[in-house]
Amino acid sequence: MAWDVADCSERFNTLARRIFSQRRPSVLPSLLHPISGYKSVIGEAAKWIQWLLHDSCYDSRVFDATLKDAFGETRCLFGANEERTRVPLRSGVKVGVGIGTFQDGGLKYNFAGDLANRVSNQIWPSSMGSIRMLSLGTGKAQPNDHTPHFRHIFRDGFLRRGFDAWMSTMETDSDWKKWRVRLGCEVRGDCHRLDVSLGQAPQTIDAVDTMDDYRDIVLLQSGSARMAREAATTLLVSRFFFVVGSLPERTASPFWCSGSVRCKGPAKKIIAALEQLYPEGLSYVSDSGVIADFGGLDSFCASCGCYNRPISLLTRHLDHTVNVYIQNGSKRKWRISGFPETIATFALRQGLDMPFGREDHGYPCREPCHRCDATGCATKGKRRRRQSETSEGAVSRKRAHA
């Protein structure tokens, strides 16, 4: 939608107050309340039964109407629109013919990050450097450390313990920790979770009247600014990627690989945000040391306006795994997109060994630029020589003798 943060926050507040303003009403509680003068047990039970039958305590028609007013009638949401299906769109459980039902969340897969990771591994099975995870918690309840003087049959009985055990299955903090432990050390630092303690605030996620209080709790939470800064930096750095420019003819021994770092999306806004977060300066580094300074807004091409920062990597051989990071003044570093990876993989993806070039002419999804693409393109479309000096000499002598 190309909205900024302030616009997204305002629209979220508007949508939340409209959707969660009132739960699905029930007729029986409203009829019994004037008679008894207080909430009836039968009326409350009827209300819960109605919610279970509709699989929601909120009216899905209000939800659908709100989304259509905010995003339009024809915009594709959740992978479907009116051109693709004849049935009217409804919120809640989705039914697929011959497949079954589809629901978000649930007791078994309440942690959406695990599902996203599985789908990502199926799409990109070999690209471990593509993992960037930002998990948002729903708030932590303050634990009750008060030790009772006697055993309360309702607070400490088996019914209460069973209810607490069942509610604990909906918490995603333990699932997040288990999932993060399974990750490799090289990508574990790119996954973040933002969650705060609610303290004495009402612990209901749909309490729209207390949204401002929740926002104040997040802002005043100790360490929340640091966590937000780390998560924002990881997402911003993931927009940078490396492009191999040229390779030497002999790659059996350690060699310098020349290339450039590019940026996806609105590069000027991304770089301005990084410079605002780290005014002390940034630099590109590898596992061997500093490669080059960040460059910032001075690294934009004067012809096409794209970000293009030339760098050179020292690697042992083509199949040696390398990393490229962006490092701040405190030696904290974040990997750019596509790493860890080997130079051979980059060369294969870019088609540097193809004698007639790639189908997209080496410039996918963008216009070619003579200034950006002129640096280090001496080997494009040429095969590298892998023969030794003796074999080359023998071939030359045979040709001279013939």
**Top-confidence residue, 87 or 198:** 198
CA distances 260 to 87, 242, 291, 307, Å, are 50, 6, 11, 9
More confident residue, 177 or 399: 177
Region 274-281: what's the mean pLDDT?
Answer: 94
Residue-level pLDDT at 61: 85
Task: State the pLDDT confidence band at 383, using cuts at 50, 70 and 90.
Answer: very low
Please name which of 333, 250, 257 lies closest in space to residue 289, comparing C-alpha atoms.
333
Cβ-count burial of 180 within 10 angstroms (0-12 exposed, 13-18 middle, 19+ buried)?
A: middle
| Tokens linked to 325 | 């990071």
340: pLDDT confidence band, cut at 50, 70 and 90?
Answer: confident
Q: How confident is the model at residue 235 (pLDDT cuts 50, 70, 90)?
A: very high
Positions of CATH 2.60.40 in the chain: 239-350
| The model's pTM | 0.73
Residue 335: pLDDT band (50, 70, 90) is very high
Model confidence at 154, in pLDDT bands (50, 70, 90)? low
Q: Which of 309, 315, 264 is nearest to 284 (CA)?
A: 309
Single-letter residue type at 201: A
| Coil vs helix vs strand at 144 | coil
**What digits encode the pLDDT tens for the residues 100-128?**
555 555 556 778 888 888 888 888 776 65
Task: Decide if pLDDT at 23 tops 90.
Answer: no
pLDDT exceeds cutoff 90 at 22? no
pLDDT value at residue 41: 66
Averaged confidence pLDDT in the chain: 76
The model's pLDDT over 32-66, given as tens digits with 9 standing for 90+, comes to: 555 555 566 666 777 777 777 777 788 888 888 88
Relative to beta strand 133-136, strand 191-194 is parallel
Give the range with max mean pLDDT: 51-55, 155-159, 209-213, 389-393: 209-213
Q: What is the pLDDT of residues 191-212, one digit of tens each?
A: 999 988 887 766 677 888 888 8
Mapping DSSP onto H, E and C, the string for 23-64 reads CCCCHHHHHHHHHHCCCCHHHHHHHHHHHHHHCCCCCHHHHH
| Model pLDDT, residue 311 | 93
> How far apart are alpha carbons 54 and 57 in whole angstroms?
7
Which residue in 360, 342, 346, 352 sits closest to 377, CA to CA?
A: 352
Q: What is the pLDDT of residue 328?
A: 94
* pLDDT average, residue stretch 145-150: 60
Q: Output the pLDDT for position 284.
A: 96
Give the rounded percent of residues in the chain with a pLDDT score beyond 90. Answer: 19
Q: Which of 149-153, 205-209, 383-387 is predicted most confidently?
A: 205-209
Residue type, 149: H
Angle between helical axes of 5-19 and 60-71 (0-180°, round to 10) = 150
78 falls in which pLDDT band (50, 70, 90)? low
Contact 312, 257 (CB under 8 A): yes
For residues 271 and 296, the answer to whether their CB atoms sit within 8 Å is yes
Residue predicted with more confidence, 92 or 297: 297
pLDDT at residue 378 greater than cutoff 50: no
**Beta carbons within 8 Å of 263's beta carbon, 6+ residues apart:** 239, 240, 241, 270, 271, 306, 307
Specify the DSSP class assigned to residue 296: G
pLDDT over threshold 70, residue 374: no
Q: What percent of the chain has pLDDT over 70?
A: 70
CATH fold of 239-350 reads: Immunoglobulin-like (2.60.40)
